[in-house]
Amino acid sequence: MLRSQFEEELDKLHNQFYAMGNEVLGQINKTVRAFITHDRELAKEIIEADAKINEFELKLEQKSLEIIALQQPVSSDLRAVITVLKATSDLERMGDHAVSIAEATIRMKGEVRIPAVEEEINKMGRQVRQLVEAVLDLYLHKGDSDQAYDIAAKDELINQYFDQIRELATEEIKKAPDSIVTGRDYFQVISYLERIGDYAKNICEWVVYLNTGKITEL
């Protein structure tokens, strides 16, 4: 294969990955909105839409492995394909957690709600969404390792929200013991959001690998 044709194949791979990323970003945005607004119909849409993300993952994996097998790329080209292969898995897991939040939205029908906690969960969700968006932008514009480190550091804000909301929910449950089942779901939802942040940080690590060839824990 000519070099120009090979680069065209890589560009298609990157574009498909970015399209998958935008699909996942949309899922994260909608799942937090559904949870906060108690929109069970939107939650059902999110669960159904997960099939599209899984299809993206399957096609990206197949294309990546095909390029490796047939073109036998070396050096930076091989790193580019491996980056897509690994980061695709991280995106798929983000989508799974978005579905888990949607399932919690459906499960919580009729339960006592704690507005103060949900307001903070909304803020945490916004922070998660911004992190994922920044990661996708980093990937699209072939950002350098310094940018990857800076973006990965923002995951700490998500971890802070996790700790703060857990403490707030615990205090609110003490005041209203009837909300203990609700509290369980709150703890699960912030755990899902925290994990999405971790997977976004993983993609930053793959960007560093793409640029340096080194696997680094950020």
Per-residue pLDDT of the chain (218 residues; tens, 9 = 90+): 567 777 888 889 999 999 999 999 999 999 999 999 999 999 999 999 999 999 999 999 999 998 888 887 888 889 999 999 999 999 999 999 999 999 999 998 778 899 999 999 999 999 999 999 999 999 988 899 999 999 999 999 999 999 999 999 999 999 988 888 899 999 999 999 999 999 999 999 999 999 999 888 88
User: In degrees, to the nearest 5, what angle opens at C-alpha 42 toward C-alphas 110 and 182?
Assistant: 30
Q: What is the pTM of this model?
A: 0.94
- Structure tokens belonging to residue 24: 């996942």
User: In degrees, to the nearest 5, what angle opens at C-alpha 152 toward C-alphas 150 and 155?
Assistant: 120
